[in-house]
Amino acid sequence: MTTALAGTGSRDTPDAPRVRASRAPARPRRRRRPAPYLFVLPALLLFAAFKLYPIVWSFVLSLHRTVNGVDTYAGADNYRRLLDDPLLWTALRNTAVVLVVQVPVMLALATALAVALNSAALRAPTLFRLGFFLPMVTGLVAYGIVFSVLLNKDFGLVNWLLGLVGVDPVSWLTDGLWARISLGIALTWHYTGYNAVILLARLQAVPAELYDAAAVDGAGAWASFRHVTLPGLRPALLLTTVLSTIGTLQLFDEPYVLTGGGPDNATLTIGVYLYQNAFKYYDFGYASAIAYFLAVLIAILGIIQFRVLGDRS
């Protein structure tokens, strides 16, 4: 009897709870809704039509040459032609002069202007900021025409003012050296305020406590500028340097409107030379090769600038 009961107790009774391996509840499969993709689709189509397609097609064009109105495959001939084209190297040299001379002067002026606009002693700072930024919203062609009138040798306002103090008229746009100087003046006038506003925005983010600590340590105005202001401006200086480099390498509107690339190719830039090959000589294959050469050059200089001026940490 006892043995039978023991044997019976070892079995699970109908009322005894059963322990089962716990399983995580299955997550319902989320169906991908097409609505988000449909919202993005117009932007993608516009990008493909007006950005991606021209990039691909220009590369295809760079492998062709137009002979008697017929496009023929030329392989890498257009790229080899870049090495032997003296006008291209003249344009590259002129662009490099603007990049090496005008851009540092412009950024130095923009830095000084940003520091001045950030001064607590300045009254009506918003009015001054608006005034210095105003040239940037002026159309490139419009301000180029204005400068061509101001710098005209015969009836320009600048030569008229110089004549009042006994200075002979200057060939601002018809002499090679003065044409380069005129181009640099126009570029500096147009872009200094824009860069100053970028630097000012970064300068206002520098904590005032750093200047107070520098003053406690006995640092003067120049020492505070070197050890507080410039390190604080480093990211903005990198940004303005890269943007100015890209803009200079693509420089077209100002030299085209002011001098047309002259006199004697003194202000011929890569952008103007590309335009001439494409729309004056209708050599679209070679113009496309110049465009890709320019893109590679911009990428190389951009990488170098990020390596040198970027945050190494």
Does pLDDT of 30 surpass 70?
Answer: no
Residue 10 banded pLDDT, cuts 50, 70, 90:
very low
207-224 pLDDT, tens per residue? 888 888 888 888 788 888
The mean pLDDT of the chain is: 86
What is the rounded distance in angstroms from the CA atom of residue 66 to the CA atom of residue 81?
14
What is the rounded distance in angstroms from the CA atom of residue 133 to the CA atom of residue 127?
10
Which domains are seen in the chain, by residue range?
Answer: 77-309 (1.10.3720.10)
Does pLDDT of 14 surpass 70?
Answer: no
Q: H helices then E strands: how many in the chain?
A: 16, 2
Where does 63-135 have alpha helices with state H?
A: 77-83, 86-97, 103-117, 125-133
Residue 280 DSSP SS3: helix
